[in-house]
Structures are given as structure tokens and as C-alpha cells.
Amino acid sequence: MKVCKFGGTSLASAEQMQKVANIVMSDAERKIVVVSAPGKRFKEDTKVTDLLIALGDKALANEDVTDALQRVVSRYEQIANDLNLSKDVVNIIKDDLLSRLATKEEGEQKFSDLIKASGEDNNAKLFSYYLQSLGVDANYVDPKEAGLFVSKDYGNAQVLPEAYDHLYELRNRKGILIFPGFFGYTPDGELVTFSRGGSDITGSIVASAVDAELYENFTDVDSVFVANPNVVEDPVEIEELTYREMRELSYAGFSVFHDEALIPAFKKGVPVCIKNTNNPTAKGTMIVNERNYLINPIIGIASESGFSTIYVRKYLMNREVGFGRHLLEIIEDEGLSYEHMPSGIDDTSIILKGDQLTPEMEERIVARIKEDLDVDDVHVEHDFAMVMIVGEGMKEMVGIAAKATEALANVGVNIYMINQGSSEVSIVFGIIDADADKAVQELYNNFFVETKDPVA
């Protein structure tokens, strides 16, 4: 049994849905199909999820939602018309949206999740209708009825252990099952969504639960590349990488896969293949437990911008018991999460996503660190990027960090922080935002320019 997930661009139009139907019907082992909401049909287009967010915002502001509602319905209506489907399916979708809009008094977070999740839910219904029109034994699956139980964390649901036992029963159902991504239900029946891009999470959960032979994640690229094609021209393709490598790359800005999505598949050991809906015969990229590291110890280079640093200096800080704990308590009290915390004997830095900070919050943090910890200096700096080189083979090779730092020095990129985890899967360099693309390009040239063969 294979579980396959199709992203928003794969289901954005009738033409794309026809491609997806052909892919599904071409392999009898593709038994469960997880779908996203319709994505962009062209560069300037708007995703249905964004249309739904706008619709929900208007409803919560008690504004007229007629036009916003019609924009959502029209997207499904155009697909249905182009597929020669009955108007009944469009009426079902419109009635569903109206019933969701009627719940806005039940709480803003609950209402927001309910509206956003309609994108995937209604697209699953539409796609199942289309397959049925082709004579295929296909059925929409309601995640509530199937038992995809999650925690009550609006917009950030976590799957509950009992969900896997319930979902395993999908193996016993006949025909092709169409499962909406992005959301589940609490045990008491309340709809809650995963974080944005969570259809990948749904696919991984379902693949793990049913003990799938393979989880195929269809998107709009032939494979994962070792670097962002928008930054590096014609980068090398990756044929095979490990779960840990993919998660590191996803965290560092690779947009092919949601960075939480691999965890259920990883725990169960289900291999994942990233494939292209528009070129389904391409080999794609396999994500596995183990790979051969000898070909190239580095599997990818990524960068992510928008970081800020809280810099703290205090003489003899290293001898002060509990200093680090007290510092992190201040960060915790503000509800912040941090990414890295490089330290010296008299100074330390807390690196975090800058969009978490407000000017008022910065002022409070600086004042409290000064007062509570009696430091010699504390200040906040902005506009940093984290550039990461990833590869489980690095721990077997000498000189990787030296080669990387030399490459950055060659193009005048100043390094403000270096961090390598104990697992030695990645090395992170903190640099200024403006140098990020230049850094990625030079690292790529140093590690990959000698070969254009796919990386395994």
C-alpha cells in the first residue's frame, strides 16, 4: 500500500486534477490520497487558503462576506465546471462554507481553524466526486469518522497516540480513499488544524498509521536540490537523503517539505519519495533512514533570514551558578522560543526568530536582564541570517568546517556565530541577512561545483 499526498499546486485547476487522477489510477498500490486545498494556478494567483483567511477575517469583523465567499466558491466552481461535474458538488461546498460561517460566535480561534480547514476538506470531496465520475471506486474520508484525533492546540495541533490505531483500520476499506489534509479532531469532536502547510503532516501520519510501503509526496519539482534554485543556478539534484538531513534542511528554509511532517514517517521507518505531479516518471528524491555518505558528505546548503540576537556580557559569567537558567527564564516569561545559544566565558548570545519580538518586548527584556542579572552589557541586534550546511557524512570527514569558513572568507562574508550540534548533522553560520545569497552560492561552488551528477 502506498499513501500519496498532493500539494496545492497539484490540485489548483481542473487540468492539474486530471494529472493527479492519472497518477493515482496508474498504480493500484496507491490506495490513500491526501489532498491540500487548491493552490496558485499562476504566479499572481491567490491560494484558496489565503482566500479563506480573508473570508474569516471579514466575518469576525462583522463585515459583508458576500464577495469574499463568492471568491472561494468560484475557485471550486471553475474546477468542477472544467471537469464536467454536476453542480451538486458546488452546492455542497457552498452550503458547507455557510454552515462554518454561522459558527463565528463560538470563539475566534475555533472559528478560524474551522474556516481554514474547509479548503482541504472541500477539495477532498471535489476530487472524490471527480474520480467517481471516471468510474473509479473512490470515497471521501472524514478525519473525524476515521479517528484522526489531535490535541486542542488551535493552529498547531499535535496528533494523539490513539489516532494511529484508529487510522490503521483504513487498510480494510475498499477502493481509493481521499483524505483531506491539514486538520484533525479532538476526542470531544472539535476541529483543530496543524500548523500552516500541515497537509504534509497528515500524509505522514496516515502513512505511518497504515504501515504504508511508501509515502509519496507530490509537489511541483522533480526532486529536492542541494540548494535553492532561486539562489543557485541549476543546482545538483539529490537522489537520496536521510530523515534527519531533510528535517534540518526544512528547518533552514527548504520549502519542499514542512519541517514537522517527517516525524511520524521517521518513527515508523516509512520511506518517503518526493515526486513531481507534472513529471511523474522522474525518479524523485527518496528520504530514508540510512544512506551512503561516501559520495558526498554534504547533502544540502540552506539559509533562513529574519533572526535577531540578544547579546549579553558579564565578567566571570562562567563562574556564576544558574546564570544561563535565569537568562532563559526571562526569555520564557515573554513566551519566546530560541534557536541557538552560543557562549564564551564572559558572554553569551540568544538567537531567535526576529518576528517574535516587538519594540516593547525588547525594552522589557533588556531592562530585566540588566536588573536581574547585573550584566556589564546587553543589547539586541537584528537582520541576521542562518546559513546551514547539512550532511550526516560530515562526522566521518576532516576539514568540512575549515573548507566552509574559507569559502565564506573568500567572498568577504563575516561570520558572527558558528554552531555544530552534537549529532554533527549540520553546521550553522550566523551572518548578516544581506550576505545570505552570496554565502550560499560560494558554499555551493566549493562543495558541489565539480560535479553535476545527482547526489546520493
- The CA distance from 345 to 223, in Å, is 44
Binding-site residue set for substrate: 49, 120
pLDDT at 455: 63
Alpha carbon distances (Å) from 229 to 185, 236, 250, 263, 277: 38, 9, 15, 26, 18
Say yes or no to pLDDT of 451 above 70.
Answer: no
Say yes or no to pLDDT of 233 above 60.
Answer: yes
Residue 355: partners with Cβ closer than 8 Å, 6 or more residues away: 306
pLDDT at 192: 97
Residue with the three cell numbers 558572554: 347
Q: Enter the C-alpha cell of residue 353.
A: 526568530
pLDDT at 229: 87
Say yes or no to pLDDT of 198 above 90.
Answer: no
- The CA distance from 67 to 63, in Å, is 11
Binding-site residue set: 5-8, 49, 120, 219-220
- Domain 300-448 class, CATH top level: alpha beta
Please tell me the pTM assigned to this model.
0.83
Alpha carbon distances (Å) from 364 to 204, 351, 360, 368: 41, 17, 6, 6
pLDDT at 452: 54
For residue 418, what are the β-bridge partners? 429
Q: How confident is the model at residue 175 (pLDDT cuts 50, 70, 90)?
A: very high
pLDDT at 119: 97
- The CA distance from 393 to 96, in Å, is 51
Phi-psi region of 42 (alpha: psi -120 to 50; beta: other; left: phi over 0): beta
Q: Strand ranges (DSSP E) for 126-201?
A: 138-140, 176-180, 183-185, 191-193
Query: Region 90-116: what's the mean pLDDT?
Result: 96
Picking from 41-55, 125-139, 259-273, which range would have the lowest pLDDT averaged per residue? 259-273
Q: How confident is the model at residue 342 (pLDDT cuts 50, 70, 90)?
A: confident
pLDDT at 298: 87
- The CA distance from 17 to 339, in Å, is 39
Q: Are 193 and 183 in contact (CB under 8 A)?
A: yes
Which listed CATH number (3.40.605.10, 3.30.210.10, 3.40.1160.10, 3.90.550.10) goes with 2-220? 3.40.1160.10
How wide is the angle at C-alpha 189 spanned by C-alphas 183 and 195, nearest 5°?
20
Nearest alpha-carbon partner for 229 in 205, 245, 253, 208: 253
Determine the number of helices (DSSP H) and then strands (DSSP E) in the chain: 14, 17
Say yes or no to pLDDT of 453 above 60.
Answer: no
Binding-site residue set for ATP: 5-8, 219-220
Say yes or no to pLDDT of 70 above 90.
Answer: yes
Alpha carbon distances (Å) from 260 to 155, 387, 413: 14, 20, 31
pLDDT at 244: 84
Boundaries of every domain in the chain: 2-220, 300-448
Say yes or no to pLDDT of 186 above 60.
Answer: yes
- The CA distance from 356 to 360, in Å, is 12
Residue 252: partners with Cβ closer than 8 Å, 6 or more residues away: 302, 303, 304, 386, 387, 388, 390, 426, 428
Structure-derived torsion over alpha carbons of residues 109, 110, 113, 119, reported in degrees to the nearest 10: -140
Say yes or no to pLDDT of 11 above 70.
Answer: yes
Query: Region 22-26: what's the mean pLDDT?
Result: 97
pLDDT at 181: 96
Q: Are 21 and 134 in contact (CB under 8 A)?
A: yes
Q: To the nearest whole number, what is the mean pLDDT of the chain?
A: 92
Q: How confident is the model at residue 103 (pLDDT cuts 50, 70, 90)?
A: very high
The pLDDT tens digits of the residues spanning 276-333 come to 999 999 999 999 888 776 667 888 998 989 999 999 999 999 899 999 999 999 999 9
Say yes or no to pLDDT of 427 above 60.
Answer: yes
Query: Region 411-424: what's the mean pLDDT?
Result: 83
DSSP letter assigned to residue 166: H
The pLDDT tens digits of the residues spanning 116-156 come to 999 999 999 999 999 999 999 999 999 999 999 999 999 99
Percent of residues, the chain, with pLDDT higher than 70: 95
Q: Enter the C-alpha cell of residue 298.
A: 554534504
